[in-house]
Structure 1
Amino acid sequence: MTASKKPWSARTLAAQAMGATDPLTRAVVPPIHVATTYIRDEDNGYSSGFVYGRPDNATTREAENVLAMLEGGSQALLFGSGMAAATAVFQALGPGDHIVAPTVMYWALRHWLASEARRWGLQVDFVDTTDLDALRAAVTPGRTRLIWIETPSNPLWTITDIAAAAEIAHAAGARLAVDSTTASPYHTRPLALGADIVMHAATKILNGHSDVVAGALVTKAEDDFWARIAAIRRGQGGILGPFEAYLLTRGMRTFHLRAAAQSASAARLAEKLAAHPAVSKVLYPGLPDHPGHAVAAQQMENGFGYMLSIRLAAGEAAAIATAARVELWKRATSLGGVESLIEHRASIEGAGSPCPPDLLRLSVGIEDPQDLYDDLATALDRATGRS
């Protein structure tokens, strides 16, 4: 894609990976750069801009450029996992700094904040971030340095008002970071709503093929805090490898098509499952009776995402039995892939989880939505003695 003044859409730019080609062969897909070291110039410098494989890589840069474009950010950094990306943000804070985080969020990160973060001298308070009064009350100006929110939250899919949370954070002299993994830039762009940093477990829908573990951070401004995060990645060797970065770029080329299809199917399933007699509640922000529907409608575009959960009227045993009886859905952890996944989440999170034991988490893929419904409805009927 040659330089142009035309306002190409994000979908177009992602489809062509920002127009990247191989300058040597003119191939439309650039090669994977796996070198770990680079030749110095005669004056002992590095005019290529590359020094060593631990802090930087050309293939990784290409994926970062696509992601920064998708989020409308200044720069992106890719890490070896979503947890590596998220924890780098907290490690960039100083001892004694105060963090406000959601009571409902990705369980592994919540566990890290409740245990390991305190070893770093960080002070963490968990609060219902959907309650703006509670969020405001938890923040102490001059002490709180970071508000971390996740919206929609995993696995209850609650909605936090990003713009309002940004106002609260900035009024207190703090930053707002948003885990937007399940929303994805197809549905929400937190930086445009006032957030300072957006995080993704790029393992999920950004890649979309269940064959990459990756994490990403995108910043609005390349300030001192961002420089500290970059230094942490560089010093700890947390960069995503070139082959994984190549696969991620490949996935982002079709991201818009997958996200549109998966979101449409999730909305259809949510409506149909809400009418199933074995289901006591469908948790999906696209449903009008969802507590966060109004806020979601304001800050989410192109639908309400590909994730939903159902609660079973017959309780935990029926939920586990339903997951055991599906044929098309895959009983597996993770989300955002082209294949649909089902999981009894409370079993995974264990003791102390806020996840109800009667809940099944559903990640909707690109299969025929009627097939997905028929398979799950049959499993529900068999597990609850309806057939």
Structure 2
Amino acid sequence: MRETEPLALIILDTNILTKSGIDSATTDLVKIIRASGIERVAVPWVVLEELTAHRAVPYRRKYEAAEAALRSLTEGTPWPIRVPLPQMDLQRFQEEWREKWLDVVDLVPTSEAALKQALIREANLLPPCKQVTINEGGDTAKIGGRDAAIWLTAVEYARENPDETVYFVSKNTTDFGDGDAFPYPMNEDLADIEDRFVLLTTWHALVEKFAQQTDDADEAAVRSILQAPESLSAIEAEAIRLMLVPPSLEGPGFEGTMGFFVEGEGTLLDTDTVRVLGWAVPPFVAFDQATDLKAYRIGDHVWCMATVRWVLSGPAALRNTLRIQGVGCIWETRVLVSTTNADARLTVLRSQGTRALPAGHFSVLSSELADYTNLISHERRWMEVQRLQLSGRRTVERLIAEGRLDVPLPPLR
């Protein structure tokens, strides 16, 4: 029985996650294993920093290239170029990516002792560290300190948790081996824990061990779960998290379809694709369709992934004018549900940007939505936003009329 088996922690090396990226089938499966509650999936602190660095280094280089290009343009133009480049915020960028990865995996701290021992091993060329030739002149360098820190973090966790089995997953067979035998001092690291420390060398081996794909997916049951109030509430919560009007009244926003109604009557006259800053209030959510269904059996339960299209509608603030209008959009997400675990709730694995409504979905731009939007637009906070927006627009219009400002103004809607 499953209850008699030891607890397990799956510890991933950097190379298992780097090529697949954060929005991929690989990370989806990691989330399935985590959601099952049977096994946990984690990375050492060093791996988290490496994953973050894989994003931060290109970001810094792109910023520096943009800075150099702007400087070159300024120097080569006979009139002043006043295009401010936002200050590079590398720390914020790094923190954002750490948080993104921690939505996928848990974290195993790398202790000070493990870091010190890793550096000692690199200095003394002890496995998994090594010496490599770095140029044609024969110069060499000692490398592998981070690999050693990752290895020692996994070993340390296994020693400190004698009731658990550690599955360490790494494609780096050159330094960590294939799991059959380990060189000194790695063999001594595993003394007395060999039966609880398992090295897997491929992602496929991990999937075979913990998440067997199955044909047991009950499509009708999946659709029933997706249309349940609990699932619609979960999507509403995710839409609020990602798409509610930000406090700063700034942001990229999303695409939607705005309805034009007969005033006082609510009849839909026309529609237009618009850019929306965000929902003024939580949107209404309706299930539309589910495709690309895949099922995995983990332990005693079946977990299903599906690409689901939802229809969102509600009062929203237009990006250019901040006016509150009735808007609808299509939102596609990759979600996870279980058809056998009654306690499981829908989990959003990842999502796409919204799209304007296709013609067959204009019914969500209803007279009821028009009435509700009118009610929300007269709330004090939105009336104040409109007052400030209109005041600012009039100031800009005056400056344009006086010839002191030359900028295009978007039309009021």
TM-score (norm 1): 0.21
In terms of Rg, which structure is larger? 2
> Larger % of strand: which?
2
TM-score (norm 2): 0.20
Query: More relative contact order in 1 or in 2 (CA 8 Å, sep 6+)?
Result: 1
